[in-house]
Amino acid sequence: MPSNEVIHGLGLDDYKFGFVTDSEPVFRTRPGLDADVVRQISARKDEPEWMLKRRLKALRIYDAKPMPQWGGDLSELQETLDQTYFYVKPQEQMERSWDDVPENIKQTFERLGIPEAERRLLAGVGAQYDSEMVYHSLKEEWESRGVIFDSIEDGLKNHPELFREHFGTVIPAADNKFAALNSAVWSGGSFVYIPPGVELETPLQAYFRVNQERLGQFERTLIIAGEGSRAHYIEGCTAPVYSTDSFHSGVIEIIVNRDARFRYTTIQNWSNNMYNLVTQRALVHQGAHMEWLDGNLGSKLTMKYPSCYLMGEGAHGEILSIAYAGDGQHQDTGGKVIHVAPNTSSSIVSKSISKGTGRSSYRGLCKVYDGASNAKSNVECDALLINETSRTDTFPYIEIDEKSASVGHEATVSKVGDEQLFYLMSRGMDEAEAMALIVRGFIEPIAKELPLEYAVELNRLIELEMEGSVG
Amino acid sequence: MNDRPILSVTGLGARVAEEDQDILKGVDLAIRPGQIHAIMGPNGSGKSTLAKVIAGHPGYEATAGSVFFQGEDLLEMEPDERAQAGVFMAFQYPVAIPGVSIANFLRTALQARLENGEELDLFDFQELLMERMELLRMDPSFAQRAVNDGFSGGEKKRNEILQMAVLKPALAVMDETDSGLDIDALKVVAHGVNTLKAENPGMSVLLITHYQRMLNYITPDVVHVMVNGRIAESGGPEVALGLEEQGYEKYRRAQVA
């Protein structure tokens, strides 16, 4: 039976069976991974032959690549992987009942003020979703303008040529071990296409369509922004995502065509047993703008470095990220900007907060190729340490092969000072309120870029986290 | 009834936390409602330490005596409890809180004074803030700036005065608020204190200053001279004038003798 230990420790193994109903056996592959498992996944999805071949090839790459020795501690990951069910049929995954969701997760939803329907969704409980009507009317509008916003599976089925032309072109399976893994076993995610010139005011929100297919453990998203288009895609939520899985490895590929502007916002708050290893990358063509807004909370270890490949003249990439590492957590995050063409510009602003024994690392790459004349890049990373036991590191990699490039890097580390706390307390705030205010101020430059409801939730979450952080 | 002190300091000894030497060596002080007391003294006399001990700075600890505020034992209270009880300290060197606007800061401070579950009405707050800024003749855009972040010395003091105006304390402790100010900034502080005093005559003020010049703009009821951790003399405004002529030398000699 679920208990508080379920999300605090690694005691998830029993719980994996929690959603199996007596009458309906759930389809899932057996624990661990081999070619047979991959074949089963592909067959279940009724995929074309080329995709199966891609998956099998990716599996071979995955098997051949060693476990990364940099970043976070992955020494216990293999054990987790051996026990992982690489595919669970989504329909049945929805069968988990609200009663099975641990009480403390429910309480956190309560305290965050998350609407009931959304709570169920976040807890992985299938439910009719209130905003379904909203979604349907939006979907009609989008469709009338030629926008495709589907699950990745439907994208492959309904738009095979467009899909095949772009899938895996931004992040090939051979990119890294976990990109290879995802390419072998992907399931769930979004397929988005915005026709040239189309400007969308309303953000495309992943959770609108999530009740069809829950955010997968191996989610795969492919987004194509047509020439001169504008759009904003939002994925995730600041509420803790309760998952029975302890491994998440997504791949997000975005193609931003000439003069288009695209923003991808994601805020994720994983339960603290989770390995979260994600590859997200955008190809940014001539005159186009790409912005990643990335928030990472929770998890045991997150390794995530959104990147912009600035391929065409005048392309611009921005990466704004917030990481919060609580007790026992390691956030190894940052960003990569690759300047390939002349007059490209980029900016990375990364803010991390470490509390208790939490550790945050900024890891970033700025590369300017020969010929990317007048490339400009600026990196700013600021770390805030809450306690004496908190830790932060900075690993900026800068590779410049172009003389006319201008690259700036600035890093700061600050501790919440006794003088700051006293100042706020002398105005009547208790220690936790004072701490929360300081932290909110610290992330303000990024929080103000978030959609309002996300910013509000993030602030509330920080308040919750700061309770008991002091003294 | 009005004769009962709002603040009673009796035999107060205090030191920097975890150091051996006492800085305050038996301070006695009684401030009645509505009174303005000035404490003057040379550098190192302990006058700023007294302000910090009253406000509850964690870097200082009381070693003897007592401090009562409206009948409550201040030394037993956390800094936030003291603030909520009505004590306000204007800092000599207020710190910056990047990313937090003055308005948001004050809203949080007022919200903290409410019972659990009560929410400060944003429109009421906005109205209060605007009214307070108007009273002090401040530009409303000032409240949108991040607390003390990149502020000049004068702006920091202005911010302290604004906070005092919004939080409406029963006792305002001005910790060398005049140090490092040019004459215009000094006038801003004095105007602020006088305006708030005129509005609320019951407010008591403890003005800690190194210089007599502040007292040209704020008229104290009582002036204390603090030397070497003790109050060496108390009297009316004439004490300050005497200091201007003779300096602190005679007090130092008196203590040595």
Counted domains in chain A: 2
Mutate to test the interface with B, among A111, A416, A424, A442 (most CBs of B within 10 A): A424
Per-residue pLDDT of chain A (471 residues; tens, 9 = 90+): 333 333 333 223 233 322 323 334 357 788 889 999 999 999 989 999 999 999 999 999 999 999 999 888 998 888 888 888 788 765 434 445 666 666 666 666 666 656 555 565 555 443 333 344 455 667 788 889 999 988 899 999 999 999 999 999 999 999 999 999 999 999 888 899 999 999 998 888 776 444 333 446 888 999 999 999 999 998 875 555 556 668 889 999 999 999 999 999 988 888 788 899 999 999 999 999 999 999 998 889 999 999 999 999 999 999 999 999 999 999 999 999 999 999 999 999 999 999 999 999 999 999 999 999 999 999 999 999 998 999 999 999 999 999 999 999 999 998 888 899 999 999 999 999 999 999 999 999 888 888 777 787 788 778 888 876 554
* pLDDT for A119: 60
Q: What is the ipTM of this complex?
A: 0.95
Kindly state whether residue B81 falls inside one of the protein's structural domains. yes
Kindly state whether residue A35 falls inside one of the protein's structural domains. yes
Counted domains in chain B: 1
Neighboring chain A residues of B99 at a CB cutoff of 8 Å: 440-445
Judge: A433–B79 Cβ closer than 8 Å, yes or no. Answer: no
HEC letters along chain A: CCCCHHHHCCCCCHHHHCCCCCCCCCCECCECCCHHHHHHHHHHCCCCHHHHHHHHHHHHHHHHCCCCCCCCCCCCHHHHHHHCECCECHHHHCCCCHHHCCHHHHHHHHHHCCCHHHHHHHCCCCCCCCCHHHHHHHHHHHHHCCCEEEEHHHHHHHCHHHHHHHCCCCCCHHHCHHHHHHHHHCCCCEEEEECCCCECCCCEEHHHHCCCCCCCCCCEEEEEECCCCEEEEEEECCCCECCCCCEECCEEEEEECCCCEEEEEEEEEECCCCEEEEEEEEEECCCCEEEEEEEEEECCEEEECCEEEECCCCCEEEEEEEEEECCCCEEEEEEEEEECCCCCEEEEEEEEEECCCCEEEEEEEEEECCCCCCCEEEEEEEEEECCCCCEEEEEEEEEECCCCCEEEEEEEEEECCHHHHHHHHCCCCCHHHHHHHHHHHHHHHHHCCCCHHHHHHHHHHHHHHHCCCCC
Per-residue pLDDT of chain B (257 residues; tens, 9 = 90+): 457 899 999 999 999 988 889 999 999 999 999 999 999 998 889 999 999 999 999 999 999 999 999 999 999 999 999 999 999 999 999 999 999 999 999 999 999 999 888 888 888 999 999 999 999 989 999 999 999 999 998 899 999 999 999 999 999 999 987 777 788 888 888 999 999 999 999 999 999 998 888 898 999 999 999 999 999 999 998 888 888 778 887 777 766 54
Judge: B99–A428 Cβ closer than 8 Å, yes or no. Answer: no
Nearest by CB: A445 against B89, B99, B167: B99
Kindly state whether residue A397 falls inside one of the protein's structural domains. no
Q: Are residues A151 and A296 in the same domain?
A: yes
B197 touching A (Cβ < 8 Å): no
Query: Considering A304, A339, A372, which residue would you say is the last residue of a domain?
Result: A304
Mutate to test the interface with A, among B18, B60, B80 (most CBs of A within 10 A): B80
Kindly state whether residue A56 falls inside one of the protein's structural domains. yes
Kindly state whether residue B17 falls inside one of the protein's structural domains. yes
Neighboring chain A residues of B144 at a CB cutoff of 8 Å: none
Q: Residues of B numbered 108-147 whose beta carbons fall under 8 angstroms of chain A's beta carbons: which are they?
A: 108-110, 112-113, 146
Name residues whose C-beta falls within 8 Å of residue B190's C-beta, 6 or more positions apart in sequence: B214, B217, B218
Kindly state whether residue A364 falls inside one of the protein's structural domains. no
B170 touching A (Cβ < 8 Å): no
Judge: B80–A437 Cβ closer than 8 Å, yes or no. Answer: no
Kindly state whether residue A60 falls inside one of the protein's structural domains. yes
Q: Are residues A291 and A438 in the same domain?
A: no
Residue A99's domain comprises: 1-304
pLDDT in tens, A366-418: 999 999 999 999 999 999 999 899 999 999 999 999 999 999 999 999 888 88
Residue B35's domain comprises: 7-92+170-188+202-256
Kindly state whether residue B159 falls inside one of the protein's structural domains. no
Kindly state whether residue B153 falls inside one of the protein's structural domains. no
Kindly state whether residue A378 falls inside one of the protein's structural domains. no
Judge: B109–A430 Cβ closer than 8 Å, yes or no. Answer: no
* pLDDT for A104: 62
Judge: A420–B97 Cβ closer than 8 Å, yes or no. Answer: yes
Q: Are residues A297 and A423 in the same domain?
A: no
B79 touching A (Cβ < 8 Å): yes
Q: How far is A425 from chain B, CA to nearest CA, in Å?
A: 5
Judge: B109–A429 Cβ closer than 8 Å, yes or no. Answer: yes
Kindly state whether residue A386 falls inside one of the protein's structural domains. no
Question: What CATH number corresponds to the domain at position B42?
Answer: 3.40.50.300
Q: Are residues A275 and A143 in the same domain?
A: yes
Nearest by CB: B80 against A420, A428, A440: A428
Neighboring chain B residues of A424 at a CB cutoff of 8 Å: 97, 105, 109
Nearest by CB: B100 against A417, A422, A441: A441
Q: Are residues A37 and A164 in the same domain?
A: yes
Kindly state whether residue B248 falls inside one of the protein's structural domains. yes
Neighboring chain B residues of A431 at a CB cutoff of 8 Å: 80
Kindly state whether residue A325 falls inside one of the protein's structural domains. no
Query: Considering A246, A273, A304, which residue would you say is the last residue of a domain?
Result: A304
CB contact at 8 A, A316 and A288:
yes
Query: Considering A271, A304, A337, which residue would you say is the last residue of a domain?
Result: A304
